[in-house]
Amino acid sequence: MKLRARIVVVSSVALACVGVLTFGVARAQQGAAAAVGGTTAELKKPVNLSPEEMNKEGDKAVGRVEMNATAVRRMLEKARTERDVVKTLCLNDKLNQLDVTLRSARERKTALEAAVARKDADLSGHEFTILGVFRQRGDRLFSEANQCVGTDIGMIGDTRVTPTVDPGIPDDYQGPPPTPLQPVIVPPPVAVSPAT
128 found inside a domain: yes
Q: Which residues contact 17 (CB under 8 A, 6 or more apart)?
A: none
The amino acid sitting at 152 is D
CB 106 within 8 A of CB 48: no
CB 112 within 8 A of CB 47: no
**Could you list the pLDDT tens digit for every one of the 196 residues in the chain?**
444 444 444 444 444 444 444 444 444 444 444 444 433 434 444 458 888 888 899 999 999 999 999 999 999 999 999 999 999 999 999 999 999 999 999 999 999 999 999 988 889 899 999 999 999 999 999 999 999 988 755 555 556 777 887 887 777 767 777 777 777 788 888 877 776 5
Q: How many domains does the chain have?
A: 1
180 found inside a domain: no
Q: What is the pTM of this model?
A: 0.55
106 found inside a domain: yes
DSSP calls for the chain: -HHHHHHHHHHHHHHHHHHHHHHHHHHHHHHHHHHHTTSSHHHHS-----HHHHHHHHHHHHHHHHHHHHHHHHHHHHHHHTT-HHHHHHHHHHHHHHHHHHHHHHHHHHHHHHHHHTT-HHHHHHHHHHHHHHHHHHHHHHHHHHHHTT------S---------TTS-TT---SPPPPPPPP--PPPPP-PPP-
pLDDT value of residue 195: 67
21 found inside a domain: no
132 found inside a domain: yes
pLDDT value of residue 115: 92
175 found inside a domain: no
CA distance linking residue 11 with residue 193, whole number of Å: 67
68 found inside a domain: yes
67 found inside a domain: yes
The residue range of the domain holding 73 is 50-152
CA distance linking residue 146 with residue 59, whole number of Å: 24
pLDDT value of residue 59: 93
